[in-house]
Structure 1
Amino acid sequence: MYWNYCDPYTMMIQQRQPQTPSPQRPTSARNYSEDFMEKNIGQKITVYLTYDQNKEWNALTFTGKLLRVGRDYFVLRDQRTGRDMMFLNINLNYVVFNEAPARLSKSD
């Protein structure tokens, strides 16, 4: 029930219409990029990143071992320098899996 405040001197109760629930897909059917990358931790990958409005570092490429994956980031150990670097998913364009095919599920 909701109160109708159109007329400040009289209060009217307004009945809410019952709504039928809309069918929803099961959440297990959804796959996100971080879920996919998490299944491939430990693999050697090449990542291609772009940074808009940055004239110095507009497009970057890094190759290394995927160490950790979060909701909006991933950590890569650069094969050239040996440093661990964290990147944001928002800057990620695509990933190439260098040594083995990408795992699509835990059983692969």
Structure 2
Amino acid sequence: MSWKPPQVIDGATVEMYASTAETQATGATRHSWIADPAMEVSYLVLARYGSESDTYLFYCDESWQVLSDTMHPTVDEAIEQANFEFTGVQFVPLKSIE
């Protein structure tokens, strides 16, 4: 398990990321995965595909594999969604660790 995310996940360029280790699910949404209902979200990632303006909020496992995603018109709305689902989310710009 690596705390540093790849620069590209699912073909999208990673802009920001957060670990869920210090967060708690708010219970406002239910996360379940068809492949393995017991899987847990380890990381949240904000990313964009090419020149698209929409921001994707990826829910990733401990290996940075995407479990699910949501699409948002702005980064702020994606962050708002993450905060709706988890308490204490602290996104870090990818460029700050390079």
TM-score (norm 2): 0.33
Query: Which is higher, the Rg of structure 1 or of structure 2?
Result: 1
Greater RCO between the two (CA within 8 Å, min separation 6)?
A: 2
TM-score (norm 1): 0.31
Q: Which structure shows the higher helix fraction?
A: 2
